Amino acid sequence: MSQRPLVHFEISERKVLLRLLDSVCILICLSLIGIIFEFDYFRIDSQNWNWTLVLLLYFNLFASIFELYDLQKASNFDSVLQNSILSSGATVLFYMLTPILTPSLPENRLQILFFFLAILIPLLLWRLVYITLISSPRFYKRVLVVGNSFDINLISSDLQKSDPNYMVVGYIKTEDRISSEIDEDMLIRFEVKDLTEAIKEHHINEIVVASGYKKGLMLPLYNQLSVLLKAGFPIKDYTQVYEEITQRIPVQHVDKDFYRYFPFSRSNQNKFYQIFFRIFDVIIALLGLAFLVLIVPFVLIANALGNRGSLLYGQERVGKYGEVFKIIKLRTMAKDAEPNGPQYAEKNDLRTTSFGKFLRRSRLDEIPQFYNVLKGEMSLIGPRPERPVFVDELSEMIPFYETRHVVKPGLTGWAQVKADYGNGHTDSLVKLQYDLYYIKHRGIFLDLNIILKTLSTVIFFRGQ
């Protein structure tokens, strides 16, 4: 294997690269402006190092909220332009509103505009370079899949959706008895004997094995993979790759001994984490209920005109350890919305009133659930609680569905900020995969990530 595969940046490497170069480009531009022009408002020097630190903290916070580090959006300049303007504007605004930590406002207010442009312009120029070079096909991870046709289709669709720089080039099919619906124009079928040459010719960066030895991984192929592995070539298990890239657990493809090897997050038993998170829940719940008191008069008037029914309604949901409790929400649907029994809510559901659509999109309908959080029935973050009738139905159809009940349900969660709106078996399976990922990796940093993504959901009006 004399020919090396082309360079590829992993997801974590691209995110670090974006954050690092964003900050470096902004600081270089501000330094140059300070040297060339008489820019008194912001200076980078040893005496005012705290100004620089606060600026970087604000920028990274708002850049995360406005999705500058979402790799899908980072590859599209229209999204980058919008999110860069929002991030730069919010950074400058909050920087000016905290004069205790930042310099006092300049007498010449035009310097504020220069400050904004000194953040925005280098950011856009660097992101254009990123899109042109690093997001180009020359830096794609080129993958060869070993497995049956179902796994190949799943990997080539789910993984490429999650990572825009992930490209399944071809496959080695291990189970001919499984009918294939693979588009031969998109994916190349390789033979076992041609594996080494295929890696060289097509610049393969990685092999993903989606089939166990007993399920069709033939001895000649097994031997070739062993030789490649000993030579240092990256060979990964499908479930590992799926989890790393999609940030979901492929529960539908794990064995029956799932509970034996599924490593639940240590935070689930960490008393310090639990106490800290409970205190955080109580504080946020009190603030949320105080906000509810402020907006109730306006919601009452709008509800009387738009919904013409009771303001609140309760509904049974399944909580931690399968215990049933009553959730409280602002009503968004017409009265008697389920004449034929319980049914899933749908996107653009005709049962939702015009004012109810606003409440859902803004997620204001969920504010009364802070009462459930205060009672301890729910937490701020966790899997969304489902109705008992749907839990019984989904538990029969989806493996390990009830595993999501080992933690408290949440007002928001990993599935809510990552999954698209949907209902039924397929969408519930995707949400379960995200919920299990949260249960497995639960911790302060993932919780913070969910909070930031929830803010993005509210700001961009993506409530469901």
At residue 422, the pLDDT reads: 60
329 shares its domain with 439: yes
| Domain CATH code at residue 199 | 3.40.50.1980
At residue 251, the pLDDT reads: 76
Nearest by Cα to 27 from 48, 3, 9: 48
283 shares its domain with 224: no
Decide the pairing of beta strands 188-189 and 166-173.
parallel
72 shares its domain with 179: no
279 shares its domain with 372: yes
Residue ranges of E strands in 304-463:
312-318, 324-330, 379-381, 410-412
Nearest by Cα to 292 from 366, 361, 354: 366
105 shares its domain with 187: no
213 shares its domain with 242: yes
Rounded to 10 degrees, what is the CA torsion of 10, 14, 15, 16? 100
Look-up of token digits 């000993």: 230
295 shares its domain with 429: yes
Q: What is the pTM of this model?
A: 0.84
391 shares its domain with 286: yes
Cα–Cα distances in angstroms (integers) from residue 150 to residues 157, 185, 232, 257, in the given order? 11, 17, 28, 22
At residue 167, the pLDDT reads: 87
**Residue ranges making up the domain that contains 199:** 140-246
375 shares its domain with 329: yes
One digit per residue, pLDDT tens: the chain, 464 residues? 434 445 677 888 899 999 999 999 999 998 888 888 777 778 887 788 888 999 999 999 999 999 999 988 999 999 999 999 999 999 999 998 888 888 888 777 788 888 999 999 999 999 999 999 888 877 888 889 887 655 677 777 778 888 888 888 888 877 665 455 555 557 888 888 888 888 988 889 899 887 654 455 577 888 888 889 898 899 998 888 888 888 988 876 666 556 555 666 777 778 899 999 999 999 999 999 999 999 999 888 888 877 777 888 889 999 999 999 999 998 887 766 665 666 666 666 667 788 888 888 888 889 999 999 999 999 999 999 999 998 998 888 887 888 889 999 999 999 999 887 666 677 888 899 999 999 988 999 999 999 999 998 888 877 66
**Cβ(14)–Cβ(134) below 8 Å:** yes
301 shares its domain with 416: yes
The verdict on residue 61 lying in a domain is: yes
The verdict on residue 253 lying in a domain is: no
Please give the Cα distance from 407 to 260 (Å, whole number).
18
At residue 305, the pLDDT reads: 79
Domain count, the chain: 3
44 shares its domain with 94: yes
**Cβ(203)–Cβ(6) below 8 Å:** yes
The verdict on residue 327 lying in a domain is: yes
Query: Per DSSP, what are the bridge partners of residue 172?
Result: 146
